[in-house]
Structure 1
Amino acid sequence: MDRVRAVGREAAAKKYDILSAMVAHALAGDPQAQRLVLRLMALITTRYNWQGNELSIGQREIARLWCVDERTVKRDMARLRTMGWITVKRQGARGRVSVLGLDLDRILLDTRPAWSNIGPDYVSRMGGAEAGEGGEPDRTVVPFRRPDIAPAEGLWGAARLRLAAEDRPLFDAWFAGLSDGGTQNGCLTLIAPSRFHATYLRTHLIDRLRIAVGRCDGRVREVRIEVA
């Protein structure tokens, strides 16, 4: 998925599309998920700077907006960071609040299963339609069937299945070649086949690995990449 930015000539339409994805995702979930997404949407519509991808608001102000106490704010903001929907761009210091950002790619990735509830036009507009969907299949293209992922035990085995379901081409290119190096003190070690492979993962994909692993086991918060 390309990096999403709601700026430029079509910024307004992109904003509505992103919010629509979040609404559909929330309505398809349980009441707890609906409440969490609604609270994030309240921050987006009242305080989020789309152009700079910045959300700067203190916990006391969030508590007032959400009509909750600050303990609830801390809990839900931590959940959103664990999900990867919110990132910390600049940590607050000396009385200044932290500057947060939204990972719109992660949000769209997580909400994608609910896009069809909005309608096929939305799915097509968001680039979620498969080739040939909604019309006659292109008979000049021979479909390529990817081999099934061999089941594996343990945390990395579960995370592999999750990563493959999210984005199979990305999984095949960068995650399939990783092997399990064990888990210790809340950190999963993965072994990459080459130094270049490890460097690319650390630079570009470590957050996606961390989120997938954390969703399989919330006790594991970190992922370390080493070279075979």
Structure 2
Amino acid sequence: MQGIRPVGREASSRKYDLLSALMAHGLAGDKHRQRLVLRLMALITTRYNWQRDELTVGQAEIARLWSVDERTVKRDMARLRDLGWIVVKRPGARGRVSVLGLAFDRILLDTRPAWPNIGPDFVARMGGAGPEQAGAGEDSTVIPFRRPRPAATGSGPWAAACALLAAEDAPVFDAWLAPLTEAGIEGGQLVLLAPSRFHASYVLANLRERLVTALRRADPSLAGVTVRA
């Protein structure tokens, strides 16, 4: 999957690619998702600093841009953070607003099912021609063979998260996430066991955000994830 580079060569076209992916995703969703995506696109096009990956704007200003009250702003910004599309880079303090950033990889993963609606040229350009290619370009250390995928049994958060993770990026799931096993919940965090110390280190270093996002979508009460060998 082709990543978005906010600066450098082809930066302008990549910005349009991100907005196009969001647009197609929104149009394919229900009215609530359409409204949320439109509001995010409004923030990106009017207030987002591409070079610094920073969105620094107060709730009152967002409310004015969206033509809503601040309560609605607080609710929808929380939804965008829960989706993993917006991340807090620096919390607000002493009268200063929070500095936010965009999680490009997360947005691209979530919008990928709608890419064909734009056209095959867009899918090919973004590197999403097929599920087997989806995770191959992200890291050269991804194991190229497929492991037997365990059935997601039960109705717990890990089973639900596995279904989400496998659907969004099958090669990466099969190589790194399928071998993890659930070992309970400690301090609000789901504990997962990896087959080796290296495996646990790789998952924490490269896939922790994906895990946390999927788990919070499955169970919003979870605060995070711990991976042990």
Q: Normalising by structure 1, report the TM-score.
A: 0.88
Partner of 2:141: none
> What do the CA deviations read for 1:21-58 (whole angstroms, capped 9, x no partner)?
00000000011101111000000000101111111111
**Structure 2: where are the runs of 5+ without partners?**
132-144
Percent identity of the aligned residues? 65
Q: Are the aligned partners of 1:149 and 1:161 in contact in 2 as well (CA < 8 Å)?
A: no
Opposite residue 222 of structure 1, the aligned amino acid is G
Matched, 1:150 2:151: yes
Shift of 1:198: 1.9
1:23-172 to structure 2, matched below 5 A, reads 23-130=23-130, 147-153=148-154, 154-172=156-174
Distance in 2 of aligned mates of 1:182 and 1:222: 12
Bigger relative contact order (CA 8 A; separation at least 6) = 2
Cα deviation, 1:133-183, whole Å, max 9, x if unaligned, reads: xxxxxxxxxxx8875542322221221121111111211221111110113
CA distance in 2, matches of 1:145, 1:207: 22
Amino acid at match of 1:27: L
Between the aligned partners of 2:2 and 2:10, the Cα distance in structure 1 is 16
Contact 1:21 / 1:114 at 8 angstroms: preserved in 2?
yes
Alignment root-mean-square deviation, CA:
1.9
Give yes or no for contact 1:180–1:190 (8 Å, CA) kept in 2.
yes
How far did 1:185 drift? 5.3
Is the contact made by 1:179 and 1:190 (CA closer than 8 Å) also made in structure 2? yes
> What residue number does 1:210 align with?
212
Count of matched residue pairs: 215
Amino acid at match of 1:24: A
- Greater radius of gyration (CA): 1
Counterpart selection for 2:198 from 179, 188, 196? 196
Q: Secondary structure at the match of 1:122?
A: helix
Return the letter of the residue paired with 2:65. Answer: L
1:128 match: secondary structure: coil
Q: Is the 8 A contact 2:123 2:129 kept in 1?
A: yes
CA-to-aligned-CA distance 1:84-115 (integer Å, 9 cap, x gap)? 00001111111111110001111011000001
Q: Scaled by the length of structure 2, what TM-score is found?
A: 0.87
Aligned partners of 1:90 and 1:99 also within 8 Å: yes
Look up the match of 2:222. Answer: 220
What are the Cα deviations for residues 170-208 of structure 1, in whole angstroms up to 9, with x where unaligned? 112211111101135542111122222222222221111
Structure 1 range deviating more: 214-223 or 9-18: 214-223
User: Structure 1 residues 202 and 130, CA, compared in 2 at 3 Å: closer, same or farther?
Assistant: closer
CA contact (8 A) 2:85 2:102 kept: yes
Distance in 2 of aligned mates of 1:180 and 1:145: 21
**1:47-85 per-position Cα deviation (integer Å, ceiling 9, x unaligned):** 101111111111111111111111111111111011000
Further displaced range: 164-173 or 104-113:
164-173
CA distance in 2, matches of 1:70, 1:147: 49
Q: In structure 1, list runs of 5 or more residues that go unmatched.
A: 132-143
Amino acid at match of 1:34: Q
